[in-house]
Amino acid sequence: MMAVLQRVSEARVVIEGLVAGEIGPGLLVLVCAERGDTVEQGDKLLAKLLKLRIFSDEAGKMNHSVQNLDGQGTVGGLLIVSQFTLAADTSSGNRPGFTDAAAPAEGRRLYDHFVAQARRAHPIVQTGQFGADMKVHLVNDGPVTIPLRVSAVPLSQ
């Protein structure tokens, strides 16, 4: 699985003119499931993004995670948005191909699992709507934008 994280001052998702999800300071998480991805990969991706130290400390150094934005226990929000276009293949021609993206039913299953796990692990989780035409509004803080990709989890021997 893969994600693009954007550190935001605020972000929201609008669907058909209505706000579907909205956060203040935190992370906008654009997440994509690819063919062959597993729930274990989603769990690993979530664990990584929750601990990633990309929020500034008092010295301006990226030293805090979304779970502790300011070093004083302030928790940031997660706005999780499905984004199959992250799997775009642009290696030939001018029109991207999306054959590497998980099939819609599998993508939804993995996205739903990712969101459910995020809600178990983090107190502020908002979402878009899988498969919807969404308008994503954000104020990128920094700007800080970080791609994450989690490879297949090795099987136990």
Domain ranges of the chain: 2-146
What token pair was written down for 49? 């993004």
User: Where is average pLDDT lowest: 14-18, 71-75, 106-110?
Assistant: 71-75
User: pLDDT class for 157, splitting at 50, 70, 90?
Assistant: very low
Taking the C-alpha atoms of residue 61 and residue 54, their distance in angstroms, rounded to an integer, is 9
Active site positions, annotated = 83-85
Domain boundaries 2-146, CATH class = alpha beta
100: pLDDT strictly greater than 60: yes
Residue 55 dihedral angles phi and psi, to the nearest 5°: -105, 140
Position 151 scores a pLDDT of 77
Cα-atom radius of gyration of the chain, to the nearest Å?
A: 16
DSSP β-ladder status, 55-56 and 26-32: unpaired
pLDDT of 106 over the 70 cut: yes
Question: 125: which strand partners?
Answer: 78
Report pLDDT digits (tens) over 54-92. 999 999 999 999 999 999 999 999 999 999 999 999 999
Say if residue 153's pLDDT is above 90: no
Q: What is the mean pLDDT of residues 135-147?
A: 97
pLDDT of residue 86: 95
Average per-residue pLDDT for the chain: 94
**pLDDT, position 152:** 64
Confidence check: pLDDT of 15 > 70: yes
Mean pLDDT of 137-150: 96
